[in-house]
Structure 1
Amino acid sequence: MGYGSECHLLRYLGRHRKLLEKRILETTGTEIASWLDYPFDRSRTWLDGELKGLEFLPPGDDPIHDVWKEMWPQRGNPPNWDAVAQIKANGLTEWLLVEAKANTQELRSSCQASPSGGLPLIRATLSRTKVALGVAADRDWLNGYYQYCNRLAVLEFLNRHNVPARLLFVYFTGDKGDAARICPADAAAWNSELFRQNAHVGLAANHPLADRIHPLFLSVSGES
């Protein structure tokens, strides 16, 4: 059996989709309308690419693409989404951006952008996001939990520009992994790690996007 968040998310999407969508409904109160297909990429091990940045939005004359270019570097490695879906919430269409984790090491990351490249723009956008979410300016969003923080920046940007979106963080439990990875056995073990993340990031429980960020704990074996 394979291991890792990518493997288990693809298993659920391909072989256990009804259960996945049931759990998403229970967690978010929204229904899946459709999942987006991903591009092929012959340079990758599984021959599949990822949707990056705002690539999931329809192309064309929508000015949000131009605004985003002023907010985030267009070179380097933009936020990558493990899955993207259109959902129905109270009869309206929204976006669901999915991040999956199967071990605690996947929570940790730091910004690798160059001071002479994209770092100043990233820092400015993260600072703007902290203000919007009521986070203290001295919280370090570039180191420790950078990936989580840049996802928050995308979420805040989309909703501020009238593109309703939500983040779904899927935390797999019971992954076997290998000796180098710590794989939580249950939600309680994940929550202790997520407490550290939240303490570092500095988000209040009632921040403005609290109802648009959803944790979902899924067993790799399908156990409830």
Structure 2
Amino acid sequence: MNKVGIVGGLGPESTVDYYQSIISNYQERLGKKEVLPELFINSISMYQVFDYISNDDLDGLVTYLSDAVKKLEAVGADFAIISANTPHLVFDRVQQQVKIPMISIVEETYQQAEKKGLDRLGLLGTKFTMEHDFFKKAFTSRDKEIVVPDQSEQQYIHETIVEELENGIVNQETKAEYLAIIQRLIEEENIQGVILGCTELPMIIKEDDVDLPQLNTTGIHVHKVVETILAIDL
């Protein structure tokens, strides 16, 4: 059985969700409650990550994340994940700096889009995820289209993620605004599905809120993590 190392704290609310979801998914896969996976969590600062990106210090971000993964290596993790979308901006560079394999939330989300036959998707996340091309590239390089909200919508989504969701606050007015943005993308951009490209978004957008496929990046990531713990599909 493989042990996963989780770079968490990005933010704390989604790290709790990862922990609980990995356990419940693991128990479900084995068909019993009296089992628990062994895992390690290294909780770092999402604010430090945001500062590195805001200051365009990607070298600093690579070092910060690589050091976090190396600590997980040192305590015995067999593979690692970063439990957030935004830090995947430098995922490939971090993987090159560490010894253990890592599972990309972006790549796993692409694979789910492919399985579902979705070729034009809306992407919601932090402004860094929506502005940069690290998420989009995995799709557009393989003939899928990614559509993001307009600049004012991006700013609203980012601010409410940081100020509300990252602090465990679920505001129904914010939810209504998110759903209105998604509806606009459906009507004006003809999206076939929506990527919840921030690991906090499933706190506020639920599966039955939108009448089109959702790619919940947290759930997708967790599913692959449990498969890897169980040495399935390696």
Same fold (TM over 0.5): no
TM-score bracket for this pair, using the shorter chain length: 0.3 to 0.5
Hey, which of these two has a bigger chunk of helix by percent?
2
TM-score by length of 1: 0.34
Hey, which of these two has a bigger chunk of strand by percent?
1
Higher RCO by CA contacts (8 Å cutoff, separation 6 or greater): 2
